[in-house]
Amino acid sequence: MSVIRNILNSRFSKDGNFFNVLVQILGFKPKNIFHYKKAFTHRSLNKKDEEGNAINFERMEFLGDAMLSAVVASHLFKAVPGGNEGYLTKMRSKVVSRKHLNELGKDLNLLKYIETNIPTDQFGANIHGNLFEALIGAIYLDRGYKYCRRFIYERVIDPYVDIEQLEGKVISYKSLLIEWCQKEKKGFDYEVYEDTGNDELKHFAVKLRINDRVVAKARATSKKKAEEKASKRAYYALQSKIK
């Protein structure tokens, strides 16, 4: 343990502020602060314990993801007694969507406390959600299921889980459109190609065809974003038929 303590000694201990920050974020006092330090350690530091195991937030993230999913699933199971497996799975996906977790991580300003050798402005948007899940994993290891469940209810379920609103929330227009095409036995194709525009960042353009007819076009900085953007435009163009 002394070796791990030395490895994890960081700016948190130097400024003496990390414990107070945790209390404000968690709403309770942590018992073992080292779990939380691991949750904010990036693999770029290449830290290892005395047995050679990597020390970074990725394992915490895995655990936190599982705990978050379990608590949300339990809540939905009780809140919607008539919901079947497919319905409950979709609802859970909306609550724990990457976009929502990123927003939660941003709201708590978790990126401010990460220890890394990479400039934080070089991280993608998902780092916020990853740290949020890692924090949940640390809570579970530190204080167990009861405190972990309480944190998830206070930060996720109570303020954001409204069944009626969730039912109308679309998390992937592409998935929704593909599901509709398959149900209606319509052919579809996403033709994606690199855009040769004058933008500083490389862009991709997409043409979405349904039954060989172009129904939407879009461009974005990634193929995935371009496809989703085109799908959203197609959804609103075909909304009366899809609903």
The residues carrying an active-site annotation are: 65, 133
Task: Identify the three-state secondary structure at position 97.
Answer: coil
Nearest by Cα to 174 from 184, 189, 159, 186? 189
Look up residue 5 and give its two tokens.
């303590």
Separation CA 102–CA 126 (nearest Å): 6
Q: CA separation (Å) from 197 to 153, 166, 204, 205, 226? A: 46, 38, 9, 10, 15
Look up residue 14 and give its two tokens.
């130097």
Do residues 108 and 133 lie in contact, with contact meaning Cβ atoms separated by under 8 Å? no
Strand partners, 217: 207
Over its C-alpha atoms, the chain yields an Rg (Å, rounded) of 22
